[in-house]
Amino acid sequence: MQIKAMRDVFLAALHQKMQKDNRLFFVSADFGAPILDKIRADFPDRFINVGIAEQNLINVSVGLALEGFTVYAYAIAPFITMRCYEQIRVNIAILSQLRPMNINLIGVGAGVSYSLSGPTHHCLEDLSIMRTLPNIEVFSPSDYLLAERYVERSIAHKTPKYLRFDAMPMLPASESVENFEDGFRVLQIGSKAAIIATGYMSQKAKKVAADFEVMVIDLYFLNAYDLEKLQACLKNIETVITLEEGFKGVGGLDSEINSKLKNKQVINLGFELKYTFKVGSREFVHEENGLGEQDLIELVKMLTNNDSYQNKK
């Protein structure tokens, strides 16, 4: 399998769809990619660059969606979610409950994938704030295969969506995507514990759990997955670890799982409520926040050896 970026694969597949469907419209907040040059050149009447103005990006995109277009609004993840949160809340979350609209917010730079750019470009709040809005589906893929599969869903489901893409090219977490609409997939079978992760952290969970009898679940639909199937997968598991590249304890992945798996011991792992100003690699930022590979391996080792470990949240 090749190393590819989520956005490149998604946009390439979208470009193919735009050749056949003249109701697909793309709006960018002055954020580029090589494939976007091709979209702009091939469909100049269905591509708008609004400039560095994310609030206006939302307003223009909503206007197009209300006219019946399927709209893709594209910007850096922390900016498309936080710079224009009021516009998303009022013009998308609230208005979509009254007026149907198919609008897809594409945020690139999930978690600390822009690790060298510091806390202004780290995106640790988006899972929490986007999950709290009614009427918006949150999609947090772990690789480009999932991103590519989502193109069909983004067209077919006439509802608002937030697509949380990693900025870095990477290998797939799994070589196949079965039962995509379930909203999750099992990356590794295990019986002693389970890790439920999302986005890049699903890749990391699979890596650190490789030598242990631990189930690894990649949850990519944060609020639209098949809960009954997930519960069935975890039927014989007593301890569940949630792992996210976002702030913990404030409404992200951990909040979702804590509320749905109340009969399990759940250990929540994520970033503490502080920003990281030290600059380094992604793993360096993780290590600074207790989420380094060795930190996770030590925790999994304690759990699988049945050593006592108090539930820490």
Domain's final residue, options 135, 165, 195: 165
The H or E element that residue 248 is part of is: none
Q: Does 232 share its domain with 152? A: no
The residue among 37, 95, 84, 78 whose CA lies nearest residue 164 is 78
Enter the pTM of the model.
Answer: 0.95
Residue 189 lies inside a defined structural domain of this protein: yes
In a domain, 1, yes or no: no
Q: Is 134 in the same domain as 226?
A: no
In the chain, the DSSP E strands lie at: 24-28, 47-49, 70-76, 102-108, 137-139, 161-165, 184-188, 193-197, 214-219, 239-247, 265-271
Q: Are residues 157 and 189 in the same domain?
A: no
Give the domain-ending residue among 165, 197, 213. 165
Whether 147 and 56 map to the same domain: the answer is yes
In a domain, 16, yes or no: yes
Residue 170 lies in a domain: no
Q: Low-confidence residues of the chain, pLDDT below 50? A: 306-313
Is 65 inside a domain boundary?
A: yes
Statement to judge: residues 149 and 227 lie in one domain: no
Burial of 81 (0-12, 13-18, 19+ CB in 10 A): buried
**Helices vs. strands in the chain: H and E counts, helices first:** 12, 11
Relative to beta strand 184-188, strand 214-219 is: antiparallel
Q: Which of 285, 290, 137, 146 is nearest to 221 (CA)?
A: 137
| C-alpha distance across the termini of the chain, in Å | 37
Q: 136 and 238: one domain?
A: no
pLDDT given at position 305: 82
Model pLDDT, residue 310: 45
Do 113 and 229 fall within a single domain? no
CATH assignment of the domain containing 151 = 3.40.50.970
Q: How far apart are CA 53 and CA 75, in angstroms?
A: 10
Same domain for 159 and 186: no
CA distance 297 to 178: 28
Nearest residue to 3 (alpha-carbon basis) of 208, 236, 172 = 172
Integer Cα distance of 266 and 235 in angstroms: 14
**pLDDT value of position 304:** 87
Alpha-carbon 79 to chain mean position: 15
State residue 286's pLDDT score. Answer: 98
Residue 112 is part of which domain span?
6-165
CATH code assigned at 270: 3.40.50.920
Same domain, 156 and 188: no
Residue 311, in any domain of the structure: no
309 lies in a domain?
no
Please check whether residues 98 and 241 belong to one and the same domain.
no
Convert the pLDDT of each residue in 161-212 to its tens digit.
999 999 999 999 998 889 999 999 999 999 999 999 999 999 999 999 999 9
Q: For residue range 117-151, what is the model confidence (pLDDT) as tens digits?
A: 999 999 999 999 999 999 999 999 999 999 999 99
Q: Are 14 and 45 in the same domain?
A: yes
Q: How many independent structural domains does the chain possess? A: 2
Q: How far apart are CA 215 and CA 187, in angstroms?
A: 8
| Same domain, yes or no: 146 and 185 | no
Query: What integer pLDDT is reported at residue 14 of this predicted model?
Result: 98
Q: In the listed set 107, 140, 165, which residue is the last one of a domain according to the structure? A: 165
Is the residue at 285 inside a domain? yes
